[in-house]
Chain A
Amino acid sequence: MSVRTLRIRITAKAGAFVAMTGTIAARTAPLIKTPTGIGGLDEVTGGGLPGGRSTLVCGPAGCGKTLLAMEFLVRGITEFDEPGVFVAFEETIDDLRSNVASLGFDLAQLEADGQLILDHVTLIRGEIQETGDWDLEGLFLRLGAAIDAVGAKRVVIDTIDTLFGGFSNTAILRAELGRLCVFLKARGVTAVITAERGEGSLTRHGIEEYVSDCVIVLDHRVTEQTSIRRLRILKYRGSYHGTNEYPFLIGESGISVLPMTSLGLSHSVSNQRMSTGNSGLDSMLTNAGFFQGSSIHVSGTSGTGKTTLAAQFCIATCQRGERAMFFSFDESRQEIIRNMLSVGIDVPKWIEAGLMQLHCFRPSLLGLESHLFTVQQLVGEFNPSVVVKDPISDLASLGTAVEVAELMARQVDFLKARGVTSLFTSLTSPGVPTRVEQQMTSLADTWLMIKSVEEHGEHNRVLHVVKARGMANSNQIRKLRITDHGIEISDLYDATAIAKQSGDS
């Protein structure tokens, strides 16, 4: 029987996690922590893994254990100058090298530089007959020699369960595993030991009994056809740690953990205002427009000019020489450009000027997490001062109500932390507030609502400011017209007509 090979599939389209602000502070620091360098993981562990001790990483097949362990080693070498040893029971050296090559990790180079040793241990189930007492001195010596050869500070053993397939005397094996942990501790290395998740228990062979200083559980769940990887710090002896399940992604440059709770409401607040790109709308917001770095929600029924309003805001931003990024989830690039040109908004001009970016994709192209990471990566690269997502109601299909709410909160917090002004549009049906609309209620600093009212044989669009945190705002209902030179917001609308309309619905 051959050794099962676990291949890490790197399918995610999204990329690097952008450094987040705010960490969970360790209250006291009795432990020396070894930073992993993995995006977000050091935040949720309050600084890294327990130094000089062993950490157990467990989870089902394909959850990213090997990759997490490998990234811990590689970043140890490249970022913290700590050489490492990788003992692979499952994958061959060539597989390991090629699996992480796509993440930009050049293992062969690190090996050549004398900073990394990859040691593949072949263990074929049932191949070895046991004829009395034995010990794992061979493994210890081998590991010890490798540690000495590169002066390793970090060790990975992947996957320890394989030993249970190779040997049948589990009593001896368990005693030897206990000895292995003592050995690693005595060598002063920070170790990551991976193990398979068991049925009804943490690991299949109760490894947590031996490796108990820190236990990280990885999971890989599919909810409504969308796969989400999650990470949880189950245990961290002697240290404060985040207790939530944190979504993580395997992106183009490795693992990124997104600690939701570390996104505190601690961003700096700006008093600067920015024009909405529409003098009529500015006049409803004390003649100054939106707060810089605030979040704006524009809701309205179909065809009320939400996209146009958003595009106009982008153009106004570009005209000031700032950058704007527009995400469209229901129109293609060509459609947006053509439709905006028809109302006198020249999007291509600003794209060519390098001040505007237009990204069009269906939300279902990426999962919920990938969506978030992709947006964050693009924002991180372009550094816009305004981000528009049109419409966010399309995101509702990506997950459950709670998940989408979480996504929106994280998105808003991320943008606020960077001082980016965000404008989200949402499609509503008359009368009934939608799920996304309800979720946005508390997230948005400014909420504009556009309605279509029928009167005197005409359909008229009307806009009002539902709320505008931190500023005096107009209580008026204004008429909104889409003209060939953009949106015009004009006079006070006839209030009685609105009252009549509300009564009808």
Chain B
Amino acid sequence: MSLPQVGFEMTVTTDEVYYELTLFVSGAPALAARAIANARRLCELHCNGHYRLTVVDIHEDLSSLMTSNLLATPTLVKTLPGPERRVVGDLSQRDKVVEALDLPAAPEVSGSTVWST
């Protein structure tokens, strides 16, 4: 299975709230790729450039599976700021993700955003 680059990316800017998110992926490569792309876009748009997104392939890291009580993939977990919130799915329904994770609305941007569905 060829997944897009697994790792973390971080952008630090101002005094805004810091977001910590983990995306657990596995199984169907297409599903994982879509979820990763959507998660990145989500962070860029809603986390004010102050976040850390970690992508974990559960096949590679079985221990995370047990500790995080994970059933479905992809699952996006927001650990900071608390309380912990999680959503499952490829994150294609962005409004639902934003609401469930309690993220701020995206600032107005000109032009259309590329969103993987």
Contact = CB atoms under 8 A, between A and B. Distances in A.
Tell me which of A131, A141, A167 has the highest count of chain B C-beta atoms within 10 A of its own C-beta.
A131
Interface stretch (A122-130, A203-211, A349-357, A397-405): A122-130
B88 A145 contact: no
Interface in B64-83: 65-66, 69-75
B100 A131 contact: yes
A131 B24 contact: no
Interface in B25-72: 26-28, 31, 34-35, 38, 58-59, 62, 65-66, 69-72
Contacts of B71: 121, 123, 136, 138-139, 142, 163, 166
A136 B92 CA distance: 18
Contact of B58 (A121, A138, A163): A138
Given A128-B72, A129-B96, A145 B65 contact: yes
Tell me which of A141, A142, A145, A163 has the highest count of chain B C-beta atoms within 10 A of its own C-beta.
A141
B72 A132 contact: no
Contacts of A134: 31, 72-75, 88-90
A123 B88 CA distance: 13
A141 B89 contact: no
Nearest to A145: B62
Contact of A121 (B31, B69, B87): B69
Contacts of A130: 87-89, 96
Interface size class of A (residues with CB under 8 A): 20 to 34
A137 B89 contact: no
Contact of B90 (A127, A128, A133): A133
Given A135-B72, A135-B73, A137-B58, A128 B65 contact: no
B83 to A, nearest CB: 11
A503 to B, nearest CB: 82
A127 B97 CA distance: 13
Contacts of A141: 26, 58-59, 62, 65
Tell me which of A129, A132, A163 has the highest count of chain B C-beta atoms within 10 A of its own C-beta.
A132
Nearest to A123: B71
B66 A129 contact: no
Nearest to B95: A131
Given A129-B100, A131-B91, A137 B86 contact: no
A387 B51 CA distance: 80
Contacts of B11: none
A131 B69 contact: no
Contacts of A136: 71-73
Contacts of B69: 121-122
Interface in A98-155: 121-123, 127-139, 141-142, 145
A131 B99 CA distance: 11
A128 B27 contact: no
Given A134-B31, A135-B72, A128 B62 contact: no
Contacts of B65: 138, 141-142, 145
B90 A131 contact: yes
B108 to A, nearest CB: 23
Nearest to B59: A141
B70 A138 contact: yes
A49 to B, nearest CB: 26
Given A137-B58, A141-B62, A145-B65, A131 B26 contact: no
B75 A132 contact: no
A135 B97 contact: no
B24 A138 contact: yes
Tell me which of B72, B91, B100 has the highest count of chain A C-beta atoms within 10 A of its own C-beta.
B72
Contacts of B96: 129-131
A307 B62 CA distance: 70
B26 A138 contact: yes
Contact of A167 (B59, B72, B73): B72
A137 B35 CA distance: 15
Contacts of B24: 138
Nearest to B28: A135
B58 to A, nearest CB: 6
Contacts of A121: 69, 71
Contacts of A122: 69
Nearest to B35: A132
A135 B100 CA distance: 19
A244 B7 CA distance: 59
A446 to B, nearest CB: 65
A166 B71 CA distance: 10
A131 B72 contact: no
A80 B89 CA distance: 41
A139 B66 CA distance: 10
Contacts of B75: 134, 138
Given A123-B71, A137-B27, A167-B72, A132 B62 contact: no
Contacts of B38: 132
B91 A138 contact: no
Contact of A131 (B58, B59, B62, B88): B88
Contacts of A132: 34-35, 38, 89-93, 117
23 contacts: A121-B71, A123-B71, A128-B87, A128-B88, A129-B87, A129-B88, A130-B87, A130-B89, A131-B93, A131-B96, A132-B35, A132-B92, A133-B90, A133-B92, A135-B28, A136-B73, A137-B27, A138-B65, A138-B75, A142-B66, A163-B71, A166-B71, A167-B88
Given A131-B94, A141-B62, 6 more contacts: A121-B69, A132-B34, A133-B92, A134-B89, A135-B31, A139-B72
